[in-house]
Amino acid sequence: MKGEVLDSMVTKEELKDWLDESAREKYEEKLEEYIDKAIKKNALAGNTTFYISTGKYTTDGSRKTAFYNLWYTNELSEDNREIVHRRIVNKYREAGFDVEKTKMDCGWHNHYFALKFTDIHRLLED
C-alpha cells in the first residue's frame, strides 16, 4: 500500500550510521594508536611474536583489557566496527606485518579475541 512503512524498511538512523565514514576514520585512528604502542612496547622488550588481546588471565580468573573496550566500542555499530577491523588488519599486512585475528585462552574456559603479530623483526629483512 502507498505510504505504508514496512518493518524491514531502512531507517534514517541506519542510513546515517552506514554512511558515517568520519566516525569510522576516527575509530581507525584510535585503534592504530593503540596497536602501534603495543608494537613499540613489545619491540623494546625484545618480543617479536606477541598477542594484543581483549582479555588476560589473572589468578582471580580472566579479565577484559583496555583493548577489549576499544575493539568492542559502543561508539560505532557492529557493522562499522567490522569494516574498520578489516581495514586495520589489512593495513598492517600491507605494511609487511604478519598479523592475524585469533582467540586466546585466558583460563577458566574464557576465550578472548586477539591480534597475533608474528616475527615482526622480519619486516626489516630484504
Q: Residues 3-51: pLDDT tens digits?
A: 455 467 888 888 888 888 999 999 999 999 999 999 999 999 999 999 9
CB 75 within 8 A of CB 23: yes
Q: How many separate domains does the chain show?
A: 1
Residue 73 lies in a domain: yes
Q: What pTM, to 2 d.p., does this model score?
A: 0.85
- Averaged pLDDT for residues 57-71: 85
Catalogue the E-assigned strands of 1-126: 50-53, 55-58, 61-64, 98-105, 111-118
10 domain residue, yes or no: no
**Domain contains 95:** yes
Its domain, for residue 99, covers: 17-124
User: Is the torsion defined by CA of 76, 27, 16, 14 positive or negative?
Assistant: negative
Indicate whether 60 belongs to any domain.
Answer: yes
- Please give the Cα distance from 123 to 126 (Å, whole number): 8
User: Cα 124 vs. chain centroid, distance in angstroms?
Assistant: 25
Decide if 27 is inside a domain. yes
Residue 8 lies inside a defined structural domain of this protein: no
Q: In what order do the strands lie in the sheet with 50-53?
A: 50-53, 111-118, 98-105
Dump pLDDT digits (tens) for 81-92: 999 999 999 999
